[in-house]
Structures are given as C-alpha cells and as structure tokens.
Amino acid sequence: MVMPLLGLLGLALAALTWLVLRHAMANARLMDLSYHRLESSKAALAASEARFRDVAEAASDWIWEVDADYRITYLSGRFEAVTGLPSSSWLGRPLSELLNCDSQPINDWLSSAPRTNTDRATLDCHYQTVVGHQRICRIASRAIREEMRSDSHYRGTASDITEEIEAQARLQHLSQHDALTGLANRNHLREFLEGKLNNLPPIEQPLVMLSIDLDRFKPINDALGHAAGDHVLHEVARRLHECTRGEDLLARHGGDEFVMVLSGTYSRENIDHLCKRLTEKIKQPYLVENQEVFIGASIGIAMAPQDACQVEELLRYADLALYQAKVAGRNTWRFYAQEMNERIVERRQLERDLRQALSQNDQLCLHYQPRYRIDGLQLAGAEALVRWQHPQRNLLGPDHFIPLAEETGLIGALGIWVLRNACIEAMRWTQPLPVSVNLSPLQFRCCDLVSQVKSALDESGLPASRLELEITESVMLEDAEGARVTLKQLKALGLHLSMDDFGTGYSSLSYLHTYPFDTLKIDRSFIADLDVSQDRRAIVQAITGLGRALSMTVTAEGVENQAQLGILQADGCYEAQGYYLSRPLPAEALRSLLSCEVDA
Ligand code: C2E
Ligand code: MG
Ligand code: MG
C-alpha cells in the first residue's frame, strides 16, 4: 500500500516539476520577447525623434517647447537661423519674454491649447532680432501630457510672417491710397465719411467737406505733358496737406479734384480763413521744366449734419457749391445753399424739355435780325437767332438754353436744326440776301461741321454764297490748328465767314490774316457808348480802318440810336445792325419786310 502511494507521490512531484519548469520556460520566453520589443520600440523612438529633428531643422518655421511654467525648454535650430538669437540664452526663460508680450494673455492662450488636432486660432506676436529689428511671428501650439507626468507642457511652431504682414499692409495701403500723391483715394474717403456719419456729429461741431477743383490744370497737362501734370498734382497735394490738422482727411477724388474733410470745431470764419489760405497756396507758381506755371483752385463746401447726413448727398452738395464757385469766377469758394440744389433740379428739367423740343420740332424757331448797309441803309442780309417757345414759359432767348445745350452735348443737334432751318427759310425770301448763322465753338469739336453745312446747303438748295457763318474767337483759342483747317474747308464751299463779337476777347490781329474771315462784327459793348466815349470811338475807328485795310466788311452790332448810326456813317463803317434799325423779327415778319422792299 505504501509503495503505490509513494509511486503516486513521485508522479505528482514530477508533474509539478514539469509544470514549474514549463512556466519558467514560458516566462523566460516572454521576457526575451519583451526585451526585444523594448529594444525595437527604443529604436523606433530614436528614429521618430531623428525624423522630428530633421523636419524641425528643415522647416521654415521654428519649433519651441515650454514646460508647465511656460518656460522655454526647447528651441529648434531654425530659431537661431531666423532670429539670429542664440537658443541657449533663451532656454529657461518665459516664452512671453521672447515674444515681447505680457505673460498673462500668452499663458492663458497656451493653457487653452488643445491636445488633439482640432482647429485653433493662432496668435501673432512681435519679437526682436539680434540686431534689434521688430519682427512679427505667428505661433500655433498644442498641449502635451506625458504618461509619467501629471502636468502639461506645450509644444508649437512659430512662423515669421513679417514679410506677409508687410505685403498685406502694402496692398491695403494701395487699395486705400492714390498712387501718385499718396493721399487717401475714393474708397478710403467713402469709408472715412461713412464712419464719421454713422455717429452724426453735433451741429456745433459739424463735419465739413471741401471739394477742391483745380482751375486751368488741363492746359498744363495738354501743353507740357503728363509728367509735368503729375508733378503739379504732387505739389498741390503737398501744399493742401500743409493746411490739414491731425484728424482731417485729405483725399484725391479724381484727376484734379481733391476732397478735404475737416472734423473738430470749425466756425464759418475758420472755414473762410482756411479756404483763403488754400486758394492762396495753390495760386503760388509751380516750377515745371524750368518754367513757372500757374493754376488756381475753386472750392465747394458742404457740412453734416446741416446740409446732409448721407455720404452721397454730402459729396453732391459740395460739388454743387463748387460749381457755383467756378461760375463766380474761379479761385474762390462757396458754401452749399439749398437754392443750388433747386437750381440744379430746374436745370435737369430744362434739359429734358430741350431734348423733347429738339425731337418734336414745333417749339424751336428762328428770328431774323436784318442788317443794313450804312450809306444808303439798304438791307444787306439777316442774322438767324434761335428762340424756344417753351410750353410752360415765355419765349426763351438763346442765353437761357445755348449754354445748357453746350454742357449737355445737345448743341450738336440744335446746331444742325438751326443750320437747316435758316437755309430753308432763306430760300423763301423774295430777295437773294445772305443769311447769317451763329456757330458754337463746340460744333467745331463735336460734329463733322463741314458735312453738316454741306448737307444743309444741298437739302435747301441755298447757294453757298448766301450763307454766312458767325464764329467767336474762342473757336481759335481752343484749337487753333483744327479751327484753321475746318474754316478753310468751310470757306472752300464758297460761303462767308464772319468774326462775331470782335473786341471782347483777345482780338488778336494774327487771327485776321491766319483765318479766312470776310467780315468783322464789332461787339455791341463798343457801340453802346460810342456817342459818349471818345475812347470807344477811337477803338471803333481803329477796327473799321483795320477791316478796310484787310478788305473785310465791318459790321457794327447793337446800334440803338441815331447818334451812334451817325458816328458809324461818318467813320466809314460798312454795315449796321441793332434795335434802332430793326429788332430780330419772326420769319414771316422778315419775309413781309423783304416783300415790301421789293414792292417799294
Ligand atoms: P450775337 O450773335 O452777338 O447776336 C446778337 C445779339 O444781340 C442777339 O441777342 C440780338 O437780339 C441782340 N441785339 C441785336 N441788336 C441789339 C441792340 O441794339 N441792343 C441790344 N441790347 N441787343 C441787341 P440774342 O438773340 O439774345 O442772342 C444772343 C447770342 O446768342 C447771340 O449773340 C449768339 O451768340 C447766340 N445765339 C443766337 N442764336 C444762336 C444759334 O442759333 N446758335 C448759337 N450757337 N448761338 C446763337
Ligand atoms: Mg451773331
Ligand atoms: Mg455778336
């Protein structure tokens, strides 16, 4: 019994030993495996670290790490290359110190850093390079929590964005400023005004807008070239800028238009004083290509909230006031007044009416003022003078609508209408007398005048020798060579050319031999006091003598009494025209007059 028991015990022991041995062997195998695993993960870590370092060194950004106290524990080699600062001297110092900012905001920003790859706002900070230059860097960060540590530390990148920010600032500047003068441009002006008008200024501290337009700038550009024009504009900007105060804005609004916005307390006297200074400054000579050139400035003023509270309105009102300053003789200033707006509204209505009148053909008419030979007072011809029978107004004279037609471009259509109708009417006369037609200087620029005249003659059948065109000297002033060519072509058609209102402009004698005129019409302002002023008489005598010497007909306009006519007769003037002899007559009345003359 003992034997089998011992045998069983031995068997159990052997089994146990085998088990222990097997377990030990398994453990040893496991340990071996762990060892290998540890080794390979160490190698992987080293490889990862090496990769990180390579990337960190190759990246254009620098990489930083701070501990839980926000002190720098690591700076990639790139840091030194970018900043020129030695990494070693920054290790252990707060990141806020390096980034030149208060520690609290940056530390708060860091502690809110995510641990995952979530999107997160970056932070732009300034730092100083080794040579003391201020640069801007954009930092991004991530919180790191390692298993063995309870606290977080932070790792991130820093990109130097100084050039990017500067380029953005340059772009922003370009989009807001005028490239030539460096002043604010239209966009900037509009934004500035919108900002100011959002919080409406009090009436005692209005926002004052000066719309400044240069006078006689275009001739400089045309005669001396764009470089000269640019030089003058640059200098104008400088002079205007000298008159601004801290909060004021000076903008270039267009070619030769500037806008100055004044904020602060400005009384009307202050504004008057400023405008006086501005116009005086602009009037001073400009040195261009070693010669002095002169311009002027007209200024229109509108104020918020008094005149308008909207940007567009304010700009428009300042422009209306500017227009009045120009009308008042330029180189001066005008404050906006409500009547100006009313006048503009009225003008717009008149423009619409004139368009309609030109299309309907029953409101415009021509009156004819006869002119007479001085010696026997025979009828020598008649001048066509346009009138407008406005549906709601009286009969309007040309002074009421010719300037408007010139400004709106309607003068082309009006000019053709006058030419055609004057030629057609002259064909109805019982005497083959010449008809005179006045031309606007603009008809020389906007239209093919020679073809228009030719068509009017062809359509009516009027011989060219019975048509006389009256031109003022402004035609020659505006484009001397162009005028010479056109006048020669007109003359070649066989018609007569007359210089109207002679004596009122430059009355240059060179016009008389350069251009092919047949007649000189002495302006009525010389005739008005001919009988009371010896000087006037001397001038009229001189013009008459000149005309005679150049074989030109001399006509005196505006003869209003016998005394004037007597003097003109005595001094050898050739023709006369004026209320004393006949007022302008409706077409039928002139026709009757001509018939009576024939009958007589
Ligand atoms: P203008 O060509 O010098 O015409 C003479 C103007 O003097 C006319 O005025 C005439 O009525 C006025 N007049 C004539 N005799 C006397 C007088 O004895 N005393 C006074 N105080 N005035 C006299 P109107 O018809 O008002 O024309 C004014 C100007 O309008 C004209 O001056 C001419 O420059 C322009 N005009 C007239 N008709 C036309 C036209 O069909 N086309 C263009 N472009 N201009 C025209
Ligand atoms: Mg005339
Ligand atoms: Mg005249």
Whether 79 contacts 85, CB under 8 Å: yes
* pLDDT computed for residue 333 by the predictor: 97
CB within 8 Å of 99: residues ≥ 6 apart: 106, 125, 126, 127, 137, 139
* pLDDT computed for residue 117 by the predictor: 55
pTM above 0.85, yes or no: no
Mutate which of 386, 388, 417, 438 for ligand 1 pocket (most atoms within 8 A of beta carbon): 438
Find, among 319, 327, 326, 238, the residue nearest to 278 by Cα. 238
CA 498/CA 486 separation, integer angstroms: 14
- Of the listed ligands, the closest to the CA of 436 is 2
- Of the listed ligands, the closest to the CA of 584 is 1
Find, among 355, 371, 370, 220, the residue nearest to 295 by Cα. 220
Write the residue with the smallest CA distance to atom 45 of ligand 1.
438
Phi/psi class of residue 377: alpha, beta or left (left: φ > 0; alpha: ψ in -120 to 50)? left
Q: What separation in Å is there between the alpha carbon of 385 and the centre of ligand 1?
A: 6
- Written in H, E and C, the secondary structure of 94-115 is EHHHHCCCCHHHHHHHHHCCCC
- Of the listed ligands, the closest to the CA of 411 is 1
Tokens of 346: 């009225």
Report the atom number in ligand 1 closest to the C-alpha of 439: 44
Q: Residue for token digits 């004083």?
A: 273
Report the atom number in ligand 1 closest to the C-alpha of 523: 3
- Of the listed ligands, the closest to the CA of 504 is 3
Exposure string of 93-115, with b = 16+ CB inside 10 Å and e = fewer, is: ebbbebbebeeeebbebbeebee
Q: What separation in Å is there between the alpha carbon of 110 and the centre of ligand 2?
A: 87
For the chain, what percentages of helix, strand and coil (3-state, to nearest 5) are there? 50, 20, 30
Dihedral, CA atoms, 473, 475, 480, 482, nearest 10 degrees?
Answer: -150
Whether 110 contacts 94, CB under 8 Å: no
Exposure string of 30-66, with b = 16+ CB inside 10 Å and e = fewer, is: eeeeeeeeeeeeeeeeeeeeeeeeeebeeeebbbbbb
Write the residue with the smallest CA distance to atom 42 of ligand 1.
438
How far lies 114's CA from each of 49, 69, 123, 138, 141, in Å?
22, 17, 14, 17, 8
Going by their DSSP bridges, the two strands 467-471 and 435-438 should be labelled as parallel
Find, among 100, 103, 101, 102, the residue nearest to 71 by Cα. 103
CA 389/CA 403 separation, integer angstroms: 17
Report the atom number in ligand 1 closest to the C-alpha of 398: 30
Whether 497 contacts 469, CB under 8 Å: yes
Q: What separation in Å is there between the alpha carbon of 558 and the centre of ligand 1?
A: 9
CB within 8 Å of 43: residues ≥ 6 apart: none
> What 3-state DSSP class applies to 232?
helix
Whether 554 contacts 543, CB under 8 Å: yes
Read off the pLDDT of residues 111-144 as tens digits, 9 standing for 90 and up: 887 666 555 668 888 888 877 888 888 988 888 7
Write the residue with the smallest CA distance to atom 35 of ligand 1.
398
- Written in H, E and C, the secondary structure of 316-374 is HHHHHHHHHHHHCCCCCEEECCHHHHHHHHHHHHHHHHHHHHHHHCCCEEEEEEEEEEC
CA 168/CA 180 separation, integer angstroms: 20
- Of the listed ligands, the closest to the CA of 385 is 1
Residues with CB under 6 A from ligand 1: 369, 385-386, 397-399, 402, 418, 438-440, 470, 500-501, 524, 557-560, 578-579, 584
For residue 253, how far is the Cα from the chain centroid? 4
Q: Is 226 exposed, middle or buried (0-12, 13-18, 19+ CB in 10 A)?
A: exposed
How far lies 394's CA from each of 400, 404, 405, in Å?
11, 17, 18
Report the atom number in ligand 1 closest to the C-alpha of 422: 41
Report the atom number in ligand 1 closest to the C-alpha of 527: 18
CA 591/CA 425 separation, integer angstroms: 9
Report the atom number in ligand 1 closest to the C-alpha of 470: 2
CA 70/CA 107 separation, integer angstroms: 7
Mutate which of 385, 435, 471, 502 for ligand 1 pocket (most atoms within 8 A of beta carbon): 385
Q: What separation in Å is there between the alpha carbon of 583 and the centre of ligand 2?
A: 14
Q: How many CB atoms lie within 10 A of CB 540?
A: 23
How much is the CA Rg of the chain, to the nearest whole Å?
Answer: 46
The amino acid occupying position 347 is R
Read off the pLDDT of residues 472-512 as tens digits, 9 standing for 90 and up: 988 887 777 888 899 999 999 999 999 999 888 776 777 78
pLDDT < 70 positions in the chain: 1-35, 114-121, 147-150, 507, 598-600
Q: What is the DSSP letter of 87?
A: G
Write the residue with the smallest CA distance to atom 17 of ligand 1.
558
